[in-house]
Amino acid sequence: MPELAQRLAKVQVSASAAMTAKAREMRARGVPVISLANGEPDFATPRHAIEAAYQAALAGDTKYPPQGGTPALKAAIARKFKRDNSLDYGPDEIIVGNGGKQVIFNAFMATIDPGDEVVIPSPFWVSYADMAKVPGGVPVTVSCPQNNRFLPRPEDIEAAITPRTKWVMLNFPGNPTGAVAPRELLGAIGEVLLRHPDLWVLSDDMYEHLLYDGHRFSTIAEVTPGLKDRTLTVNGCSKTYAMTGWRIGFGGGPAKLIKGMFNMQGQATAGVSTVGQAAAAAALDGPQALVEEHRRVYEQRRDLAVEMLNAARGVTCHKPEGAFYVFPNIAGCLGRVTKGGRRIETDTDFVAALLEEKHVAAVQGAAYGMSPHMRISYATDTASLTEACTRIQEFCAELS
């Protein structure tokens, strides 16, 4: 049988996707699994966005889409960037992809040569490092420990930059920790990046509207305007508008970069669903009250999860400032044995045993570049979240 490409040996299946698939398989067998593994809002897509998609279909907008995005959606995205981020982008500086992931993948494929380095603050979204590896890039992680609120120090980012650095990644509010970078910190990071004119900057702003306790959002190209001509600002509709299944992500950046990304997208998927783009334009331009309503619910769920997890034996849980994840430390559970006889040596052991014995799906911190932690998504209904945290408390109490 012919062999698969060697590059696959360097790329891992997403741990969150694998855990979600495992939970679904167990549910199909009748096991009462509660999944806290998937970063997917449990709210419905706004009705006006659905109606816009329906009307677009009725009007015959069902043909091949423009490869980089419809004019209507690009215009809505430009208005969003101006309204929310004080950033001006023209049509040739905006691209629409099949989710934010494709936008990032396009950028890496258009810019990374073998051996180029991508600086990634850690913990990080599981896909960043693997996407960098596909075109031959080398992930370089910058540790962001909990005692620094999971935030990078500017001097650590500077120390990680070498002549081979092609990208520096920023993601605040962050997945998996919910960390929010204050404007002052972004400014200090921006000063570092200004000293390195030969690298690109990527700001993944997917969780920009999910901030708590009065925190305010900033993005690097706004804070440090001198970086705008080499910054890709990525966003989408999945988290803000509960539109994960519509697969609409977008990016704003310099025309040279967007043109290269356009080329890469043309060889992979070409354009994005026309009706999905109509829905996205309606979401971006339409009433925004639901965004704030959902944010308040997430904040309540965050408080619930943090309180209940801190009450679990051997677990310490930080209180994140944004997104919809907590990243508790489970060091106090290691070296113990579960009620079912499983020995817990790592966070991977912990989440595997938790799923098998208490039917709660979470994701090991190792997948995000930091152990011994686990990532829990509280983007689920409050009753299920409460029951899942109760099961975690029971699981930890039974360790011997």
Verify that 33 and 56 share a domain, yes or no: no
Residue 183 and residue 127 share a domain: yes
pLDDT surpasses 90 at 308: yes
What distance in Å separates the CA atoms of residue 106 and residue 101, rounded to the nearest whole number?
9
Q: What is the pLDDT of residues 119-173, one digit of tens each?
A: 999 999 989 999 999 999 999 999 999 999 999 999 999 999 999 999 999 999 9
Structural domain of residue 241, as residue ranges?
47-285
Percent of the chain with pLDDT over 70: 100
What integer pLDDT is reported at residue 24 of this predicted model? Answer: 87
Same-domain check for residues 29 and 124: no
Q: Is the peptide bond before 123 cis (omega within 30 degrees of 0)?
A: yes
Alpha-carbon radius of gyration of the chain: 21
The CATH number for 305's domain is: 3.90.1150.10
CATH number of 218's domain: 3.40.640.10
Residue 113 lies in a domain: yes
Query: Is 269 among the domain residues?
Result: yes
Domain assignment present for 139: yes
Q: How many domains does the chain have?
A: 2
Residue 307's pLDDT band (boundaries 50, 70, 90)? very high
Residue closest to 41 by CA, chosen among 263, 283, 216, 234: 283
- pLDDT at position 99, please? 97
Check whether residue 224 and residue 345 sit in a common domain.
Answer: no
Q: Which of 251, 285, 319 is the last residue of a domain?
A: 285
Over the stretch 318-365, which tens digit does the pLDDT of each residue have? 999 999 999 999 999 999 999 999 999 999 999 999 999 999 999 999
Of 285, 316, 351, which one is at a domain's C-terminal end?
285
Last residue of a domain, one of 285, 312, 343: 285
Q: Are residues 56 and 189 in the same domain?
A: yes
1 within a domain of the structure (yes/no): no
- For the cut 90, the answer to whether the pLDDT of residue 375 exceeds it is yes
**Residues 79, 196 within the same domain:** yes
Q: Indicate the pLDDT class of residue 236, thresholds 50, 70 and 90.
A: very high
User: What's residue 356's pLDDT?
Assistant: 94
CA–CA separation, 331 and 221 (whole Å): 38
Please indicate, yes or no, whether residues 262 and 392 belong to a single structural domain of this protein: no
